Homo-oligomer: A and B are copies of this chain.
């Protein structure tokens, strides 16, 4: 087993890993960063092995860390030990986890999605907050959804914030990115699927609405919501009670409340 020790911040590998916190570098390299033993183990369980494994020096011994190290070594990856302070600088977190990994991004083409493989899919349009994207991935995992489809210009699902908020679901859920016209074209051909949006336009109560599998639950941008044309292209528009002075929920919250209602309706 080969293992390198790095102690300096100016080391090229450290600089490279750190650069992945910026979108520009992620898109150039098509690699991203994930932290934490739980996440990296979930990733491995789903067949994702990091190209570079970073481990804090003087961490507690743990069989899962050893298993990760062996997996990376088997796959010909790079295993690096470094001081915890250096790991904190790399990941940008004050209390860094003991391990982090650099992963290759994967293909997020819509065509890779088998819509019949799950009863629920989440769809986010022009969502700008990476934390919301990560939270939606986590919710998708919880409701037994197949994955998250990102429409138009969204935040980067491979950003550190999104990966962190996903709590590992970035590795367990399918992820696709498409323009609206591509998505609606794909949805309406072949196997079909019901497109549902939370809306105030010609909407029916979200409880008791006729949800059908596979159900695509769509929410829009945090400030603007969904464009009217997209809402009107939905098979079903549903409305949630708004008892207060505001007229909207956080987009990830709305998606979750709706997704749990769909789950209760269609079973799964």
Residues of B within 8 A of A143 (CB): 241, 243-244
Residues of B within 8 A of A257 (CB): 256-257, 260
Known: A257-B256, A263-B241. A246 touches B167 (CB 8 A): yes
- Interface residue count on the A side (C-beta < 8 Å): 36
Nearest opposing residue in chain B for A168, CB measure: B246
The answer for the CA separation of A169 and B245 in the assembled complex, in Å, is: 8
Residues of B within 8 A of A140 (CB): 244
Known: A172-B245, A253-B256, A256-B249. A142 touches B207 (CB 8 A): no
Task: Name the interface residues of A163-218: CB closer than 8 Å to any CB of B.
Answer: 165, 167-169, 172-173, 207
Do the beta carbons of B207 and A139 come within 8 Å of each other?
Answer: no
The answer for the CA separation of A241 and B167 in the assembled complex, in Å, is: 17
The answer for the CA separation of A45 and B245 in the assembled complex, in Å, is: 10
How many copies of this protein are present in the complex?
2
Do the beta carbons of B243 and A268 come within 8 Å of each other?
Answer: yes
Nearest opposing residue in chain B for A207, CB measure: B264
Do the beta carbons of B207 and A253 come within 8 Å of each other?
Answer: no
Residues of B within 8 A of A42 (CB): 245-246
Task: Name the interface residues of A212-268: CB closer than 8 Å to any CB of B.
Answer: 240-246, 248-250, 252-253, 256-257, 260, 263-264, 268
Which of A167, A169, A244 is the most central at the interface, judged by chain B CB atoms within 10 Å of its CB?
A: A244
Tell me, yes or no, whether A91 is within 8 Å of chain B by CB. Answer: no
Find A244's partner among B131, B141, B207 (CB 8 Å cutoff).
Answer: B141
The answer for the CA separation of A219 and B257 in the assembled complex, in Å, is: 16
Residues of B within 8 A of A264 (CB): 207
Report the minimum CB–CB distance from A83 to chain B (whole Å): 24
The answer for the CA separation of A7 and B263 in the assembled complex, in Å, is: 55
Do the beta carbons of B249 and A142 come within 8 Å of each other?
Answer: yes
Find A245's partner among B141, B248, B256 (CB 8 Å cutoff).
Answer: B141
Tell me, yes or no, whether A144 is within 8 Å of chain B by CB. Answer: yes
Do the beta carbons of A139 and B256 come within 8 Å of each other?
Answer: no
Do the beta carbons of A139 and B250 come within 8 Å of each other?
Answer: yes
Tell me, yes or no, whether A26 is within 8 Å of chain B by CB. Answer: no
Tell me, yes or no, whether A138 is within 8 Å of chain B by CB. Answer: yes
Residues of B within 8 A of A243 (CB): 141-144, 263, 268
Given contacts A42-B245, A135-B253, 15 further A-B contacts (CB under 8 A): A45-B245, A135-B250, A139-B249, A141-B243, A142-B246, A143-B241, A144-B241, A168-B246, A169-B244, A169-B245, A172-B244, A172-B245, A172-B246, A207-B264, A249-B256
Q: Provide a sorted-by-A list of 11 A–B residue pairs whose CB atoms are within 8 angstroms.
A: A141-B245, A143-B241, A144-B243, A167-B246, A207-B264, A241-B263, A252-B253, A253-B256, A256-B256, A256-B257, A257-B260
